[in-house]
Amino acid sequence: MRITKALSAALLALGLAAGPAAADSSPSPEPSGGSGAPTEAGTSFRTAAEMEQGRTATASGSTGDYLYWSFPADTGQRPTVTATVKLPPSQSGRQTWQVDVYDGLRRRQACQYGAQTRTAAPGGSTVELSCTLRTVRSWSEPWADDPLPGTYYIRLTVVGLTQDDLGLPVSTEVRVESKDIGGAAAVDGSLAKPLVPGIAVTSADEDSGDGKSAAAVLSAIDPDDGWSSGWWTDRWVWTAIGGMLAALAGIGGYVLTRGPGRPSRVPPAG
């Protein structure tokens, strides 16, 4: 009876511990596209248009332009960048477009999978590109190029076309979605600060006209729930569950192997 009560209490504790982990791993609703998304792109890293994940950014430009956007990515996320280029009907030859993703240190990040470069045949109307990055880590060796939390940059441009098509107008759509990998990608250690470099230099008091020196303005886009501290992941929950299961296995093994209890001693008759 005592063993049954102990097992019931342990199972109840496991259920309570696993509940928050399951709730954290479920995808949160994302904001609908079109609301607050940029309608133009930057022409360099410093002027990249800021966008949030889960929203669709649009921009118009000319064939041959470099179009830049930036977005935040936090620890445990695996971002996927998708881009759609709507080509003009007057194009005369093939066009090859490419999307590249850079981290906050402007290091080009390799795509884990996806069609990063595609060629549209003459008369084609659209080109669809995608790039899925590796999972963002909370910490990495200085010599490694692992994705780290902070600002990421998207660069979209044409890399191959005929001279007659140079300068033709195009319209683009860019969207970023992330899958939360969670504790499966957790590592020991974390950055002191996310890699969010300055993207413009303006005067903090330029409207007041007091003549103070200019200060760097950092990216205004952060994750919805803020930057993670780097030490808490659902790996802690599953580690605790594993420890409790090991303790239960030890109790069960002891009960099964100790054998029947010894009979109480009967004092000899006087």
Q: Write down the domain spans for the chain.
A: 1-28+224-256, 31-206+213-221
How far, in Å, CA of 105 to CA of 145, rounded? 10
Q: What radius of gyration, in Å, describes the C-alpha atoms of the chain? A: 28
CB within 8 Å of 7: residues ≥ 6 apart: 248
190 vs 140: CA distance, rounded Å? 8
d(CA 114, CA 63): 23
* Triad 130, 64, 175: Cα angle to 5°: 25
In this prediction, residue 59 carries a pLDDT of 95
Domain 31-206+213-221: CATH architecture, name and number where available: Sandwich (2.60)
Residue type, 143: W
Other beta carbons less than 10 A from residue 258's beta carbon: 8
Cα-based angle 178, 187, 189 (whole degrees, multiple of 5): 115
Per-residue pLDDT of the chain in tens (270 residues, 90 and over written 9): 444 444 444 444 444 344 433 333 333 333 333 456 899 999 999 999 999 999 999 999 999 899 999 999 988 889 999 999 999 887 778 889 999 999 988 999 999 999 999 998 887 889 999 999 999 887 777 778 888 889 999 999 999 888 888 888 999 999 999 988 766 555 666 666 778 875 444 433 444 444 444 444 456 676 766 666 545 556 666 667 778 888 888 888 877 887 666 555 666 665
CA 85/CA 174 separation, integer angstroms: 9
How is 59-91 classified by DSSP, letter by letter?
EEEETT--EEEEEEE-TTEEEEEEEEEE--TT-
Q: How many CA atoms lie within 13 A of 203 on its CB side?
A: 9
Contact yes or no for 186/235 (Cβ under 8 A): yes
Which among 42, 27, 37 has a CA at the least distance from the CA of 58?
37
pLDDT value for 137: 84
The pLDDT value recorded for residue 189 is 60
What is the per-residue pLDDT for 58? Answer: 95
Alpha helices in the chain (DSSP H): 2-25, 235-257
Q: How far apart are CA 156 and CA 162, in angstroms?
A: 18
- DSSP E strands: which ranges in the chain? 49-50, 56-62, 67-73, 77-86, 95-102, 108-109, 117-120, 126-132, 150-160, 169-180, 198-202, 215-218
* Report field, pTM of the whole predicted structure over 0.85: no
